[in-house]
Amino acid sequence: MPGDRPQLSEEVAGELRGRIMSGELRPGTRVRLEEVAAQLGVSITPVREALLTLRGEDMVELEPRKGYVVAPLSKQDVLDLFQLQGNIAGELAARVAERITGAQLDELTMNNLLLMKAVRARRMADIEHLEYLFHRKINLVASARKLSWFLHTATRYTPARFYAADPGWREDVRVDHEKLLDAFGTHDPTAARDVMTRHFTDGAQLLVKHLDDLGIWD
């Protein structure tokens, strides 16, 4: 159906973002439309549209006679992206600590319990989805539409599948979420900001180490 095309191209763009940010697609690697379409089981059209989107984000470049290639990605780029995410998310968390109700805290706590069950069972798809829902609910409680939109835009560059598969990250999520819920429960905006910001900046260090190990910047 024609109405499905934009959503499909966004899904393809999300998949390619994750591959680029996790190092599966290295800087300078040619991205072949037909190959990506075959891998994802889609037609060429949404792949072409996705690459146009990623070109606008400086994730890929269009080179004459070569086609699309992955754009350069430095360590500082990764750190900058996650620092931006952490700053925005920290501000939202501080606002949540000041205004969250008991019912909202109960809902977040229940969501976190479901997430921890998925973590223990190593259900990767559920971990990705429930982690997304946990942070989405926090952003809704903050009631800051524009700031939340900026965070949503920035977090598109987070390779969620990579994190869900990492045992160290899964343990960090358990600890960070407990501290965050405690800060919300005591209405402590400073603690909430610190925990949330560190949640993102620690994630940056984990990703940088992973990319270092892959030799992305050799």
Cα dihedral sign, 121-126-131-135: negative
Q: How far apart are CA 120 and CA 116, in angstroms?
A: 6
* Alpha helix stretches (DSSP H) within the chain: 5-21, 33-40, 44-56, 75-99, 102-121, 124-142, 145-154, 160-164, 167-185, 189-214
Domains plus CATH for the chain? 2-70 (1.10.10.10), 75-214 (1.20.120.530)
The DSSP secondary-structure symbol of 71 reads: P
Helix (H), strand (E) at residue 67: strand 67-70
Give the model confidence (pLDDT) of 34-67 as tens digits.
Answer: 999 999 999 999 999 999 999 999 999 999 888 9
pLDDT at position 100: 98
pLDDT at position 66: 84
| DSSP 3-state of 217 | coil
Residue 207 structure tokens: 């990703």
pLDDT at position 6: 53
pLDDT at position 3: 39
Map tokens 């990764």 to a residue: 78
How many CA atoms lie less than 13 Å away from 22 in the CB half-sphere?
A: 17
Q: Which residues of the chain have pLDDT under 70?
A: 1-6
Helices (H) and strands (E) in the chain, counts: 10, 2
Instruction: Provide the b/e sequence for 12-41 (b: ≥16 CB within 10 Å).
Output: bbebbbbbbbbbebbbeeebebeebbeebe
